[in-house]
Amino acid sequence: MTDTATTGRLSDEAVRSLRTLDPAQPLDDLDWLDQVIGDARVVALGETAHYNGEFFQLRHRLLRYLVERHGFSAYAMESGCVESRQVDDWTRGGAGDLGRVMANGMTSLMGLWTQMRSHLEWMREHNRTTPARPVRFYGIDLPGSVVSLLPGLDAVMAYLEQADPDYRADPEFRETARACAAPSSFSAPAALAAYGQLPCERRDALTAHLADLSERMAGRRLDYLRRTTAEAYEWALRSLRITVTLDGMIREAARGNQQALVSHRDAAIADTVEWILRGEERIVLAAHNGHVQRVPLTLPGMPEATPMGMHLVDRLGADYRVIGATSGTGHVLNTGSDFYDGVLFTELEVPRPGSLDALMAASHDGPFAVDLRRLSPADAALVRSATQQRTGIGTFYAEQCAMDAYDALIHLPHVTPAAPDPAALAHVPGEVREPFAAWQSR
């Protein structure tokens, strides 16, 4: 057998080949998952970059396996928590046009792809045919594409109309939030700039009002439960708490603390996952590698930050398992400023020699998985020697050890842009349609 330590590739015994990424195909090639996940309540699925068709398909296929073989009852993904109730209602048989639901019930452009449509259609069909074991959909992220307070505020105000009819919000409160709102990810830079231009007294009044509202909802819980259900109350309270976090994150960013964009956000995401666990026995959690990993996150120009995965390890221990991802070549999300002009994707360079991505690319030609906890000593040493991993942010590689960050890895040799969903794009603002049209016309 070839000396893998010399050639820089994993042994054949380490490679668990994936026969296909097609979610509709048989699932027998995924039985390696059984040992990886054990009895864990949360299984996190990473990805190297957003909006690749292959990662959408992979998540769909893994969710199907974990639901059908292990009884997982929830799919939670990196999209707005507040908005996600629309998606959950639809997947459980609710009325409505799926294109509109995808456009409005998912944030940060997550719902604008045909592969995501197929995923949601499968969930709805599963819930129709297996009503005794439904799968619920949850967003875990901050609302308003991680920039706008309005979705969270509107959800809370709608709840208070029933639960607290005597409550009257100061009109200026919502107008301040509206002044720095963003219809989509494409207007996020402008929204953050608008917040920075607000007078300090208006920012302070907004934060104080959110604090007062939080105390009011907490203190009047039993009064509210006489008028609404416990589920409605808990949902409104979670919506308010993550909106408070978003306000704090934006305040810190305006002061120049860019690390808050990770630390505040990821702690809140972990809180939301823990909140979901109150009602769900086992969760499939889908987010970027940088969120799910169980080691500090390094980003360009920023000090190390604590990602969601570290919070969940601290809280859940062995009940949290992480399947990270690497990729080889293809096209991935463009993180340059021309993204806003319609250059949505950029060519993915061949992995840097000596990196984890290069090791995985050299180890097998097709998609495959590696169970990092069951490697031979030689293979484990090889993985530990690959101390850099591509982050998905331009050409930036982070220094970290995959053996510490993940329980398993899945490698996709070639990734391509997901297919835009015309029905979903019909329901988004022009600031989204125009860059998508520019990209599709290239």
State residue 220's pLDDT score: 97
- 200 and 277 fall within a common domain: no
Would strands 368-371 and 16-17 be described as parallel, antiparallel, or unpaired? antiparallel
258 band by pLDDT with thresholds 50, 70 and 90:
confident
- Domain stop point among 212, 234, 257: 257
Which residues sit opposite 327 in a β-bridge?
412
- 284 and 387 fall within a common domain: yes
- Domain stop point among 222, 257, 292: 257
| CATH assignment at residue 277 | 3.40.1660.10
Give residue 209's domain range: 147-257
- 252 and 349 fall within a common domain: no
Query: 50, 286 in Cβ contact below 8 A?
Result: no
Model confidence at 7: pLDDT above 70: no
Which residues sit opposite 17 in a β-bridge?
368
Provide the CB-side half-sphere exposure for 164 (13 A, CA).
21
State residue 424's pLDDT score: 98
Model confidence at 6: pLDDT above 50: no
- 141 and 284 fall within a common domain: yes
pLDDT in tens, 228-238: 999 999 999 99
- 162 and 141 fall within a common domain: no
pLDDT in tens, 40-53: 999 999 999 999 99
Model confidence at 297: pLDDT above 80: yes
Nearest C-alpha neighbor of 333 from the set 389, 391, 284: 391
Say what percent of the chain tops pLDDT 70: 98
Q: What rounded mean pLDDT belongs to the chain?
A: 95
Nearest C-alpha neighbor of 411 from the set 354, 373, 358: 358
Task: Tally the domains of the chain.
Answer: 2
State residue 2's pLDDT score: 37
- 268 and 410 fall within a common domain: yes
Model confidence at 143: pLDDT above 80: yes
pLDDT in tens, 171-211: 888 899 999 999 999 999 999 999 999 999 999 999 999 99
State residue 261's pLDDT score: 81
Model confidence at 4: pLDDT above 80: no
- 283 and 418 fall within a common domain: yes
Average pLDDT rounded to a whole number, residues 339-366: 96
pTM of the model: 0.96
Model confidence at 104: pLDDT above 70: yes
Report the alpha-carbon distance of residue 65 to residue 55 in Å, rounded. 15
Nearest C-alpha neighbor of 389 from the set 436, 342, 344, 325: 325
Report the alpha-carbon distance of residue 31 to residue 27 in Å, rounded. 8
- Domain stop point among 257, 272, 305: 257
The residue ranking higher by pLDDT, 253 or 159, is 159
Provide the CB-side half-sphere exposure for 10 (13 A, CA).
30
The residue ranking higher by pLDDT, 330 or 6, is 330
Average pLDDT rounded to a whole number, residues 250-259: 88
- 101 and 119 fall within a common domain: yes
Average pLDDT rounded to a whole number, residues 317-328: 98
State residue 224's pLDDT score: 98
DSSP one-letter code for 18: -
Average pLDDT rounded to a whole number, residues 357-368: 97
- 215 and 310 fall within a common domain: no
- 269 and 127 fall within a common domain: yes
State residue 391's pLDDT score: 92
245 band by pLDDT with thresholds 50, 70 and 90:
very high
